Structure 1
């Protein structure tokens, strides 16, 4: 049985999609319960995760020249956060738009930290979306796959140690900074007794795939990035990395002259892979689809409310019409801003809905008109 863990969870992102409509179409005997349910759930919006379209920049003063420079720098960082990949900065449309970054700005504010001036720039999500759509550049949705970071380090004395959330290490400081700047949910393990039973130092050093998958399940991680790093007497870092995502593994190495700059490359590698997998050109959301969603395990009013809040948090769902209640099962007809394949991908990012197999042992595919899941949140 999977145990949910409290971990160091670093996310920066945003959600600014229109509110969703939930319309009940039920027999009269169930109308009152569902009207109460929907009224309560409509006030319980999924918590927005701020930051994808905003960026803070250090400025020397509040002059127009300093402000324009900050706009361009912030624009670049927002494009990287929203798309997940730095390569898009070289796209001709993005390079041209950077020169007029001010035209995409929605709001600015200044503040002072010590003797340092800073400007917070928030860009218009709609305008950025239009730009990326016209350039046919995929957008990585704010509901992002998590990455469990598992690092085993060998120092110049030959001793090996695994790094956890209580470790004071420059590599973890870089990981935290990267997670904030790039909008990537990075999980740093507790390294408690259970962790150490699942993955020994030797297994961590060997990049034992089976053990790493097991500990990834413990943390509910969507992927695992594990590295074994050797820090030389000259303070160079030589590392071998393994990225585990679903049924695939990708192995790569990286060498850097200093631990202070080491982590950007491996984290950028996996961020690019996840963004490529989940990224969608904004026009893809203009496709409309409908699908019936049957969800078992919804046995109480609290479960109903939690489920509806969950559906509201899914970018793909523009409306959900409740069509039937049968015991602890609820059936909804979903209107999608996208395709049912996209919906299945977004659902797979979480642990709240798990597919239900049919009597023949098959799982309904994303091409089926009926998708069958079980609600697991307690």
Structure 2
């Protein structure tokens, strides 16, 4: 029954488009200087950044499963280089950019049995509301130079999560007021977000108390799930990093899968493959998914392809990932999913 319900929820997102995120195996860490000590410390920090991005879990480095594999972080390094960074106060700062070997990290994740957040990730619409003691309540996002928006952007990029800010045009103003967004009115935020054709939405509100403590809350809806939580930060702390960290941890749990040492074979039928160009595009779509180990052509009948898929996750997660690609419309019957058989219509572009 749970599998059938998961399928029904996934079908509501047939026309939303996830985003292929790049740079997941690269970390960027500020350093005090270019000494060997600073470099070694930064490599460890960059590896932590990357593993958090890949697993969708900000506490993954505390896991006893991963600790035995981290005795020599340099063994995973594929490339390294210093670069200039712009700090929050505008001063130049040195950073170390570290690229890690994807194959080596994928092997680490599999052996340690860590969760995987695929690179095909949900793109969410984000409504941010600030309550200022002097200026009152207002949406954040109309001016990218806003420090709060820049902080949010950095935090989301660090986690490898795509997002979209509303236009704040007349249609948005008529659909959702500042006070309605501040009240986290899901019944109004959802309809106001529909025009953006994203995979869900986030509403985040915050204010600063008289003693300079920042308090706030976030609410999101994605993948048929709605979650609410609050946050606070002491004076001087980077509150947005904490807020985004807890938000993405919760959000990612709906999209991660646990890689299996033994893959499971699934049968996937694709309708509407009219020519060789479509055929190549279909194969390319499957090969982009981390949870797919191999794709084999099982049969062709008219414009229908039948593929044999070796996947590290079950039929539900493969189905969800294919729907989020925006190129496949599900025609899968609930009973077929339970037996590992999926069916889609190809959306040609």
TM-score by length of 1: 0.74
Q: Count matched residues.
A: 329
| Cα shift readout 1:130-160 (whole Å, capped 9, x = no counterpart) | 3333322212221122232112222214732
2:186 corresponds, among 191, 200, 209, to 209
* 8 Å Cα contact 1:72/1:99 also seen in 2: no
CA-atom RMSD in angstroms: 3.3
Tell me the distance in 2 between the aligned counterparts of 1:106 and 1:220.
37
The Cα shift of 1:294 comes to 3.0
Structure 2 residue aligned with 1:332: 306
Indicate how the Cα distance of structure 1 residues 199 and 351 shifts in structure 2: closer, same or farther if over 3 A, else same.
farther
Aligned with residue 164 of structure 1, among 141, 151, 163: 141
Note closer, same or farther for the CA distance 1:129–1:348 as it changes in structure 2 (3 Å cut): same
Structure 2: how far apart are the matches of 1:87 and 1:197? 40
- The corresponding residue for 1:294 is 270
Query: Kindly tell me: are residues 93 and 202 of structure 1, through their superposed partners in 2, closer, same or farther at Cα, counting changes over 3 Å?
Result: closer
SS of aligned partner of 2:133: coil
State the Cα deviation string for residues 290-339 of structure 1 (Å, max 9, x = none). Answer: 3132334x56776555444433322344214273354xx53332322333
CA 1:312 to 1:264, structure 2 compared with 1: closer, same or farther past 3 Å? same
Match of 2:73 in 1: 101
Q: More deviation in 305-314 or 249-258?
A: 305-314
Q: Which residue of 2 aligns with 1:355?
A: 330
Residue 289 (structure 1) shift: 0.7
**Is 1:374 matched with 2:349?**
no
Counterpart in the other structure of 1:63: 35
Question: Following the alignment from structure 1 to structure 2, what is the Cα–Cα distance between the partners of residues 293 and 149?
Answer: 35
Alignment pair present for 1:197 and 2:174 = yes
Shift of the 219–249 alpha-carbon distance from structure 1 to 2, 3 Å rule, reads: same
Q: Using a 3 Å threshold, how does the CA distance of structure 1 residues 193 and 312 change in structure 2: closer, same or farther?
A: farther
Answer yes or no: is the 8 Å Cα contact 2:22–2:119 preserved in 1: no
Question: What secondary structure sits across from 2:120 in the alignment?
Answer: coil
The alignment partner of 1:366 has SS state of: helix
TM-score (norm 2): 0.79
- Partners of 1:204 and 1:66 lie apart in 2 by 44
Within 2, Cα distance between the matches of 1:217 and 1:87? Answer: 33
